[in-house]
Structures are given as structure tokens and as C-alpha cells.
Amino acid sequence: MTVEPPITEDITVLTEPPTDQQETVGIARAAVVIGAGNVASRVLGLVREQVKSYFFGTMASADAFIVATLVPTMLHDLLIGGMVDSALVPVFSAYAKEDRDELWRLVSVLLSLTVVVMAVFILLVTLFAPQIVRAADLLGSGTLDPAFFDLAAGLMRITIPAVLFLSLSGILSALLYALKRFTWPAFTAAVFNAGIVGMTLLLQSTLDIRAMAIGWLTGAILQVGLLLPGLRGTRIWPTLRLYHPAIRQVLKLYLPIAIGLLAEIALVRPISYGLALQTGEGGLSAMTYATTLRQLPQGLVGIAISFAILPTLSQHAADLGDAAFRRTLARGLRLASLLIIPATVGLFVLGQPTVELLLEHGAFTAYDTQITTVALYFYLVGLPFAALDLLLVFAFYARQDTLTPALIGIGSNVAMMIVAFALFEPLGLFSLMIADSFKQLLHTAIAAYLLRRQVGGLAEHGVARTILIALGCSAIMAVAVYAALAGVRAVLAPGILLELTAVAVPGALGAGLYLWLVTRFGVEEFGLLWDAVRRRFTQTGG
């Protein structure tokens, strides 16, 4: 095996820290860097939604675009997306440590196999796009405008090739994570959103909603292009050999996750989309806009901390036993609680002005703002549970247990559908948000219970105390934010200045007050997080 130059790590995660504080700082520093990629992605995602809402609002064409991207998204999530953190990264990491030549062969086989499989899927979806779009209305009465289905089918034929590039990007991202080259894959989602925004602005005047579909394909291609510089020193090549012994190991780890994803992708998503379509024109778009706003804090907190903590959890699960595992998991839960609870409360108080600022432009009306805001409120009920639950799921992954979270996911999705159907007639669109929040709560409760049975409780690690502190400080913050919002509205006349100020001033006041309050209780996580930010940017600048 040839000797390769050492790979520079973009993030240094402490796996055997000499002190508890150093371990927490290591997790925080990793979360900061991963979070930076999430910030770029979420901001551009909001810009994408702003562009869509400005040009298309909640018109039928916007709903048709969402339906058209459903199949490419589902195929990617099922075949590659869910495999990255649960199977590909662990397997790639083992080969990266032991046999780089074999790693290149494995990745080459996977990439070549992906091209063949995805080509078949692309051909089938292109041929049967109208029938697939009709399936999205499986719960409907069949009375929707036929022109809607024709448009959605045409858009689907434009977007479906993107699944190939999204899948290639997923495999390459997993490789770069295994090689500890974190920066490039951290920004793939940002590049994807940038492609959608750019092509929509460039082509909308002549192609209308088709410009967004072209942007979707463009963004997927750009993802692969972004990752190419990170592949320096690797030896990946196309191959006619479509099998490698490690594929069996990958499939073994991924099979439980795939079953859970299949249940969600083949049933839950189409049913949810079908129900949303039956609430009238714009219902599906309002749900999507609200989902985007909810995902901003969820991605910044839940995803960043979960990926940051996973390497340390895995090492503890393998070498140091349950005590160290519980201690590290508790740190992640405390840090996530301190961030996600005030973010949820703040977004609830500032929900309407946030929607007005980001979306109420062009074709997006005041009525659309009201519907989207109410949908957001119901989503926010489940947001803290979603963020904490992701850490619990990754804790199972760290213990090489993918079956338990998959079974919990299936059960939670069944419960979600029962609630959605039960509430759909009286509540319409909002039944879907209520059902989703119930799912998040149920999933978190079951995961916490089962994980406690495996590794023991966290009572001695102060998680409950931290949650109570965050709740109390957030309640005080909410009063101050609401008062500041009322004051801004009383002073300023309607217009863009009011929209900006109504979010910025109360938001800044609330963040500052919350930070001051939690430090009064001696909570150290914020100090360590700030130290992580300062050190990271000092290193970058140097």
C-alpha cells in the first residue's frame, strides 16, 4: 500500500479528553464548524423560499413544483441519503484507517453501481411521470385540475436526473467525512440552494416555474462539483466491477434504516402531501414554507451537535463503557437544550413578523402569511423534541444499533398518520402539523426510555436541571421580546423598516437577556461555546 501525505483535519474532535471541560470544548468546536455549513445552507434555503414565494406565492404552480421534486427527493433519501451517517461513514472510516487502496476500490464500485441503478430509476420515472403524479393524489377526489398534473409531470421529468448527482454527492460526502475533510461536504446543501436561486432569478421571466426545476437539477450538479477539490490524493475511477465485499456490511447496517425510510417515503410523505393538496390551493406550499422556517433552528442545533458528538460517543461505546457514554451524551443534550428551547420560544413570539419579513413579498399575500404562521406555531410545539431526539438516535448509531431507532420511527409514523386522519376533518391543514409534533414527542419519549434501559439514566448529569433553567429563562425572555415587539409596532409605520426592526430588535434583546439569565445560574456551556467560536476563527484567521 502506498504511503500518502497526512490529511489535514478540518475539525478536531477530542475522543479521549483528559478533562470533562476539554471534551465539551471539543464537541462545541466541532458543532461550530458543522453549524457554519448549516447556517449557509439554511440562509440560502430561506432565500430560495423567498424567491419562490415572491414569484409564485401559494399558486398551483408552486404546489406542482413541490410534487415534482417529491420523487427525486424520496429516491435519494431512500437509496443514499439515509445511508451516509448510519452505514457509509462507519464502513469508509474503517477502511480509511486500515487499507486506503481498498477504500478507493470500494468507493469506485459504489459510484459505478450508483450510476447504473439511478439510470434505471431515471428512465422509469421519465416514462411514468404522469402516473406517479396521479399517485400523489391517492387520497384525493380526483377533481383537481388536469393541467396541474400535466405541469407537475413535466417538472418531474426535468428534476428526476438530479437524483443521480445527489446520490453521487452523498457517497463522496461520506468519503470526505471518513477522511476527516469536513469543510467541503458541510457546504453542499448551500451550493444546492444557490443553484436553485440563481437559475430561478435568471430564467423565471421566460420559463416561469420551470426555471426552479432547472435550478434544482443545476444545484445537484454543483454539489458534485464542489466536492471534487476535496478528493485530492484519492484514486477513484469508473469500474465495470459492481460488487465489493464491504457492500454486504453496508447493507447490513443500513437495512433497518431503509425499512423505516421506506415506510416514511412510500406512505407518510405521499399521504401528507395528498392531504395538504386537499386543503385547497396553496396548502402544500404553506406547509413547505413553515417547514423551512422550523428547520432553520433544528438544523443549526440538532444536526450540528449530533454530528459533532457522534465520533466521541462511538469511541466511548467501543472502549470506555456506559459511564463515559452517558456523560458525553448528557453534555450534548444539555447544550442542545440551552440552544433549542430559547430558539423555539423566540420564533414563536416572532413568528408572524418573521414570515412577513422573509416571505410576504410579490405573490405572497397577507393571507398566506397568516396560514403559514399558524402552521409554524403548530410545528414549533415539536421542535425541541426533534432536536433532542436526533442526539438520542445518533447515540443508538454510536452503539451500532440501527434497528431500534428504525422501529421507533415506524411506530411514530403510524401514530402520526392516525392523529392526522383523526384531526383532518375539523382542522384541515393544521392537523398535519399537530400530528408531526405529536410524532416528535412520542419518538423522543420512546427513544429516551429504551436508551435508558441500555446505558442507564442521566439523572446525575444535570440534564433535567439544565432544561428547567432553559425553560424559565426562555419564559422571561418571551415576555421581554413580546413587549419589545409591541413597542416597535407602536413607534414605526408599516413598511420594510418595521419588518426588519420587528425581528431584529426584539430578537437581539431576547438573545442578550437569555444569555445573561443563564449565566446567572452558573451554566458553563455558553462560555465553552463562545470559547470554541473564538478559537476556531482565531485559527482560521491565522
pLDDT digits (tens, 9 = 90+) for 431-449: 999 999 999 999 999 999 9
Contact between residue 466 and residue 334 where contact means Cβ atoms under 8 Å apart: yes
The span from the CA of 105 to the CA of 300, in Å, is: 35
Q: How confident is the model at residue 198 (pLDDT cuts 50, 70, 90)?
A: very high
The residues, ordered by sequence, that sit 6+ positions from 446 with a Cβ below 8 Å of its Cβ are: 408, 411, 412
Is residue 190 pLDDT above 70, yes or no?
yes
**Range picked from 242-251, 344-353, 531-540 for highest mean pLDDT:** 344-353
The span from the CA of 266 to the CA of 275, in Å, is: 15
More confident residue, 488 or 255: 488
* Cα dist from 470 to 164, 335, 363, 376, 529, whole Å: 43, 10, 39, 21, 16
CB atoms within 10 A of CB 131: 11
Is residue 221 pLDDT above 50, yes or no?
yes
Contact between residue 312 and residue 15 where contact means Cβ atoms under 8 Å apart: yes
Q: Which of 57-66, 123-132, 210-219, 344-353 has the lowest mean pLDDT?
A: 57-66
Write down the pLDDT at residue 179. 80
- Average of pLDDT values for 269-284? 84
Cα-to-chain-centroid distance, residue 231:
24
Backbone angles phi, psi at 456, to 5 degrees: 100, 170
Write down the pLDDT at residue 122. 94
Write down the pLDDT at residue 413. 92
CB atoms within 10 A of CB 178: 20
Write down the pLDDT at residue 29. 67
- Average of pLDDT values for 1-28? 46
Write down the pLDDT at residue 431. 95
